[in-house]
Amino acid sequence: MEAKLVVENENDYHSNKEILSRSDLQNISVCPAYFKYMLDNPMEKTPALLFGSAFHKLVLEPDKFLESYAIAMQFDRRTKEGKEAYAKFQEENKGKEIVSLTDFETMQQMAHSISENKCSTNILKDTLKESSIYFTERNTDLDFKCRPDAYKIIDREDDKKIICVDLKTCANADLDTIQRETYKRGYDLQAYVYRTGLSALYNVREEDISFIFVFIEKSAPYLVHNVCCSESVFESGKNKFIKYANIYKDCKETNNWYGYAEDTMEDLDIPDYLLNKGE
C-alpha cells in the first residue's frame, strides 16, 4: 500500500476493520482470542473513552466541539418533567455524543491548564490535527493505520523534521507513573507505529521524527507533564510490534485465534520481584 493521508472523522477511522491499528496489536498482546472477540464485537464507548475523545476535540479542534458533542445540563430524571426534558434534549442533539455539564467543566479547566503551559502550547501550535495515515509497515509487510492527534513538519532547506504530539489524560502525571504506564498500556507501541507511518508518508528518516506525549491530570490542579520519547521507547515499541504482528499473521493463516495458551499447560511460579518484595 502506498502511504496516504486521509481526512476522515473519528467514527469512519474506527469503523474500518480491514486495516490494523495500534489498538488491535494491543488487543493481541492480551491473547489472539481477545483480539478476535473485540474485532467481531465492537464495544460502545466507556465513560472514560467518551471523556477522553471529547477532551481531545475541545483542545485540538475547539471550534468543532459542538458539532460532535452536546453538553447536558442537570436533568432530574426522577421526575416526569425531567425525563421529558432530557428526552427532548436527546432528540434535539441526535447524532451527537452527550457529555455532562460536570465533565465539560472539568475538561475546560484541563484545557485551560494546557493553554497556560508554554511548552504544550508551543508544540501544539500550527499542527495538522486528527487526520488518518494508512501505510505498509516494512518489517512485517502488513497494512496499518494510525491517527495522530497533532503533528507539524519543520522544513529547513534540505533538513526536514516532524514533531508528533499525543494528548493523554491520566490520574497521575509524575514521571515514574508515566514510565510504567507507557510500557503497560502500549504507549511505546503507539509511538513506534505513528513514527513509522509518518516516515512512510513524508519520506522522512525515523530519527528525524520526535514523538511527544502531553499528559494532563484529570483532577485539580490539572497538572501537565510534557515528555519526549527516547530511542529506548521506540525500540521497545518496535519489539512489541514485530512480536504481535507475527502472532496476528500466524493466527490469520491458520485461522486459530487461541486464548492465553495454545492447548498447553503452563507452569506457575512466583516471580523473584514478588518474592523479594518484603525484604
Which amino acid would we find at residue 198?
A: L
Q: Quick one: cell of 74?
A: 442537570
Residue 277: band (very low, low, confident or very high) from pLDDT cuts 50, 70, 90: low
Whether 207 contacts 252, CB under 8 Å: no
- Give the whole-number percent of the chain exceeding pLDDT 90: 73
In the chain, where are the structural domains located? 4-255
The DSSP element (H or E) to which 242 belongs, if any, is helix 231-254
**Cα(132)–Cα(204) distance, integer angstroms:** 17
Q: State the pairing for strand pair 142-146/132-137.
A: antiparallel
The overall average pLDDT reported for the chain is 92
Tell me the helix, strand and coil percentages in the chain, rounded to 5: 50, 20, 30
CATH of 4-255, one of 3.90.320.10, 3.40.50.1010, 3.30.450.20, 3.40.50.2300: 3.90.320.10
What digits encode the pLDDT tens for the residues 201-227? 999 999 999 999 999 999 999 999 999
Cell numbers at 144, concatenated: 496499518
Of 59, 95, 100, 94, give the one whose Cα is nearest residue 77: 100
For residues 11-22, give the mean pLDDT: 90
Judged by average pLDDT, the poorest of 4-8, 85-89, 118-122, 211-215 is 85-89
What is the arithmetic mean of pLDDT over 112-127? 97
Regarding pTM above 0.85, the answer is yes
Residue 269 burial (C-beta neighbours within 10 Å; 0-12, 13-18, 19+)? exposed
Amino acid found at 269 = D
Residue 195 identity: R
